[in-house]
Structure 1
Amino acid sequence: MLRDKDIKKIQELKADFTPGRVSAEDIFSRFKALKLSEGLSEFKWFKTRGYDFKMVLALLVSMVVSSDKTVNSYLNSPTGEGSTMGKDVFYRLKNSPFICWRMLMWHLVHRFLTVTSKDSDVDDTSSRYLIFDDTTLSKTGKRIEKIGKVWDHVTNSYVLGFKLLVMMYWDGKSSIPLDFSLHREKGKNQERPFGMSKKQIRKQYSCKRIKDSYTAKRVEELDTNKIQMVLRMFFTAIYRGLRVDYVLVDSWFTCDALIQAIRGVKDKEVHLIGMYKFAKTKFEYQGKSLTHAQINNMLGKARRCRSLGYQYKQAKVLYQGVEICLFFSRRGKNDKWKVLLTTDTKLTFKGLIGHYQVRWVVEVFNRESKQLLNLGRCQSSNFDAQVAETTISMIAYLLLTLRFRYDNYESKGALYRSMNADVLRETLDRRLWGLFIELVCSICEVLEMDADDLLEKMLANPKAESMIIALCCSVMVKDD
């Protein structure tokens, strides 16, 4: 777990999750700061239907960070009543089979890392982590597409919903959601696959999808083994050039396949740290094939780490040809021994705990996103909308992390340098245009003239005409 001071820093994000502090305009300015226009160019087709993709996406993101969590509540609120967009605009985007939400998320992540890496406050010597974890997204509608019952290890019961597998990235200051997949569990009862009767499955919403399309691949992931998805996400992160020093997982994901994949990375600069629970697995220790319990018994008296309050033992072993280090730890004499496994055999026990406690950020993300960012609360029958809503919650988390990071940690240099050329100039242009219109109206009141007549006379002057058109175009170009 994280130390208290680290938990407080992450918990401070909650102060930014307030409706009064985040609006659609604020979200849109974050898009501008990250310069997302180029990455969103392939979504220009959406504008042919009437509205810009970025505008609709910014509104959807602003909804999840405000009290108006749904489209209907937003449209019925004072903020949404003035909007010309109908609910179909938002539903059409969320249900669209042509949007690759995974690519959109990765593009935003790369922009985030590019902006933050330029700041002088970033410590290049600190370790970078990939963290994998799963959590339950409970639902209420049995007619949701592909819905089923999954085991929730928190409540120790089966609940209706999906399993969410998340890959997070920790760059030393911020936790960044990178990718995710949704899963269901078929179970062993053939009469009730996925915990549902065959009648309930027939009544579920169904949608025909183009083979190998973005959404079809997402549906295939529902029944893909989570270990396979972890491997797929890990290789994607490495392929995209992310610097990774350690991969952190709990006992559900620590396995031979993940160890071999991580140690197979070029130059072997990535290491695994994970809890281990399989009692029958054999390790090579002192020329013998032994379980971790047998190795623990051979190690004798435990050492004591006074600063952390742990008793621990350490053993270097071989597993499937890979040299690893096993750490056995417990708080007191009556506690059970917990096993931590790492491929970094140079780590001390204190160093191991220092690295592994970073895994807590994914638990914080799961909890805070469910409570504050509408994660898992989508009740749409269309599975495409479930994927869209989950991505939107992650985008909201990322943008709020960016805001909090520069409000609290960084020197604001990189963010402001990025924003000055676009956002600040746009704000100035809009204000100047607004002041010009107010000035024209005030002059008309004094001279008792019609505003249209005054504008016509001004436009008749070539110099005045060029100035007015230039000011107008500077605003209209931003709107496009």
Structure 2
Amino acid sequence: MHILPQGQHSEEEINCSVSDFISTFKVGNLLRKCNAEKQKGIPVINIFRYKFVNVFSRSSMYMQMKTNHFSGSFSKNTFYRFLNDPRFNWLRFTTLLALAVIKNFFDPLTSDDRADVFIIDDSLYERAGYKCTQMASKVFDHVSMKYKKGFRLLTLSWSDGNSFVPINFSLLASSNETNQLGDFTKVDNRSLAGRRRKMAVTKAPDVLLELLNYAVNAGHSAKYVLFDSWFSNPNTILKIKEMNLNTIAMVKISSKITYEYEGSRLNIKQIYSRNRKRRGRSRYLLSVDVKVGKGTKDEPSIPAKIVCVRNRSNKKDWLAIICTDMSLSEDEIIRIYGKRWNIEVFFKTCKSLLQLRTECHSLSYDALTAHVAIVFARYMYLSVYQRKDQDERTIGEIFYVLLQEMEDITFQHSLFILVEAMTASIKNILHITDEQVEEIYKDFFFRLPEYMQDALTSDYKVA
């Protein structure tokens, strides 16, 4: 059985999966816990639901209102007040929603022997109107190795190797005044909005630890923490170990970062050059035990294993992976680190399908934070329904199936309205019996094109 219905279905059936997700994981209660409560008028969950499912329509709120297809029971101003409200704690919302999804849905499906992981990475979040956007900056994109305008979306996520769930995030700006482009007006640091902006200009490794600590305190757990070389430094690895978590990360190839190896302080290049490499078809070139940290009273050292592997994109080059769990074999370290690729798929999906960059044009930092949080909730929804019934389709395939079905609903709904209006007019003007109306309808039905007949047969029975 496919997790999302295909073919012709009523609007109630299509929206059933969204309603089930919202009720199963008590999204309304989570919003209230995060200060997202109505002061008067429209319930917050109604506005959240509209924003949540609007990605599956091909028109924006503006175009829906222009073409009289807007189905919301609230005004445009109410919708924007919801997004711009600085009191809503979106960091807590995504953390708690992810916890409910993982503990109540994914954990029972995951074997205790499977290595679940936290994955941390960042991605560029570009903004076109950067000069007017609050906190927008010139930020360094370590993929293109260039400065670009917008934010760095630092994300903490969870994966069991099969499914992926984003947990929380921070839109990072620049702390360097020369790189600050938008409005950096100071906000009271005691307020939620002030703390959110303070985190935005904090160094990424420190925010990484803050997001991880927030998730752990909320009840999240995993066996390992994965990240690439951009965040890999001894201080971060030591701090993560203090949280009783083990790290598997790419080693930064730098002469400034050293490890204790055979009684000497050596950088990774020196360690690699001192040892003989494995030959043949071995999955790795070198494996050595080192100690991370200075080994002083203030910074005690911890044991770790460094595994060097061939760079698949350049066979003459090599890469190094560090692991603080000494019980793991080299093959297991390589296999588990491979799960980090899931977050790259996540970023691609959010940008290409879930309208991370294109849907929200607000200039408010709080509104952008709300938008990213709802995009994360959309991805959790797709992850849940991909996993149900062992569906083999990718997240992208599920998105397009649902998108196509929502278009079918719009067509069906419009066609039903026309037929019902025509039937009512015939009965009112001609004063004919129900049997005569049925005969007229049959004649009308069989004159329609086949695709219109298919759309009507789900609700209208034709003899």
Q: TM-score range by the shorter chain?
A: 0.7 to 0.9
- Paired residues for 1:181-192 under 5 Å: 181-187=170-176
For 1:176, the aligned partner's letter is V
| Structure 2 unpaired stretches of 5+ | 294-300, 393-423, 432-463
Deviations 1:292-326 (A, max 9, x none): 211112211324445xxx44111111222211111
Distance 1:226 1:163 in 2: 9
What is the root-mean-square deviation in Å for CA atoms of aligned residues? 3.3
Specify which of 284, 307, 325 is matched with residue 327 of structure 1.
Answer: 307
The answer for the alignment partner of 1:465 in structure 2 is none
Residue 299 in structure 1 maps to residue 275 in structure 2: yes
Residue 404 in structure 1 maps to residue 386 in structure 2: yes
Report if the CA contact (8 A) 2:229-2:249 is conserved. no
Specify which of 42, 57, 60 is matched with residue 66 of structure 1.
Answer: 57
Residue 393 in structure 1 maps to residue 369 in structure 2: no
Shift of 1:329: 1.6
Shift of 1:389: 0.7
Report if the CA contact (8 A) 2:96-2:218 is conserved. no
Distance 2:189 2:270 in 1: 51
Change (3 A) 1:304 1:181: farther
The answer for the alignment partner of 1:107 in structure 2 is 96
Shift of 1:41: 3.6
Percent identity between matched residues is 24
Distance 1:345 1:305 in 2: 24
Distance 2:135 2:75 in 1: 28
Distance 1:384 1:13 in 2: 34
Residue 283 in structure 1 maps to residue 259 in structure 2: yes
The answer for the alignment partner of 1:433 in structure 2 is none
Deviations 1:406-433 (A, max 9, x none): 14359xxxxxxxxxxxxxxxxxxxxxxx
Deviations 1:42-94 (A, max 9, x none): 579844432111111011011134323x43134345642x4332211210100
Distance 2:5 2:16 in 1: 19
Report if the CA contact (8 A) 2:259-2:291 is conserved. yes
Distance 2:152 2:72 in 1: 35
Change (3 A) 1:163 1:93: same
Residue 357 in structure 1 maps to residue 338 in structure 2: yes
Deviations 1:82-128 (A, max 9, x none): 43322112101000112111122122112212321574x43222111
Residue 213 in structure 1 maps to residue 191 in structure 2: yes
Report if the CA contact (8 A) 1:166-1:180 is conserved. yes
Distance 1:47 1:23 in 2: 27
Residue 263 in structure 1 maps to residue 241 in structure 2: yes
The answer for the alignment partner of 2:145 in structure 1 is 156
Report if the CA contact (8 A) 1:133-1:167 is conserved. yes
- Paired residues for 1:444-459 under 5 Å: none
Distance 1:224 1:237 in 2: 18
Distance 2:357 2:364 in 1: 14
The answer for the alignment partner of 1:313 in structure 2 is 286
The answer for the alignment partner of 2:160 in structure 1 is 171
The answer for the alignment partner of 2:250 in structure 1 is 274
Report if the CA contact (8 A) 2:35-2:88 is conserved. no
Q: The residue matched to 2:23 in structure 1 has which SS?
A: helix
Normalised by the size of structure 1, how large is the TM-score? 0.72
Report if the CA contact (8 A) 1:328-1:338 is conserved. yes
Shift of 1:146: 1.7
Shift of 1:373: 0.8
| Structure 1 unpaired stretches of 5+ | 1-11, 411-441, 449-480
Report if the CA contact (8 A) 1:128-1:245 is conserved. yes
Report if the CA contact (8 A) 1:133-1:250 is conserved. yes
Distance 2:381 2:32 in 1: 20
Report if the CA contact (8 A) 1:23-1:62 is conserved. no
Change (3 A) 1:295 1:23: same
Residue 135 in structure 1 maps to residue 135 in structure 2: no
Distance 1:271 1:158 in 2: 29
Change (3 A) 1:233 1:195: closer
Report if the CA contact (8 A) 2:233-2:257 is conserved. no
Report if the CA contact (8 A) 1:63-1:74 is conserved. no
Distance 1:331 1:226 in 2: 26
For 1:398, the aligned partner's letter is M
Specify which of 225, 228, 234 is matched with residue 247 of structure 1.
Answer: 225
Q: The residue matched to 1:50 in structure 2 has which SS?
A: coil
For 1:329, the aligned partner's letter is V
Residue 194 in structure 1 maps to residue 179 in structure 2: yes
Higher mean displacement: 152-161 or 388-397? 152-161
Distance 2:284 2:106 in 1: 39
Deviations 1:241-277 (A, max 9, x none): 2221110010011112221112223xx4534333322
Report if the CA contact (8 A) 2:250-2:319 is conserved. no
- Count, aligned residues: 382
Distance 1:43 1:347 in 2: 39
Distance 2:289 2:72 in 1: 64
Change (3 A) 1:252 1:156: closer
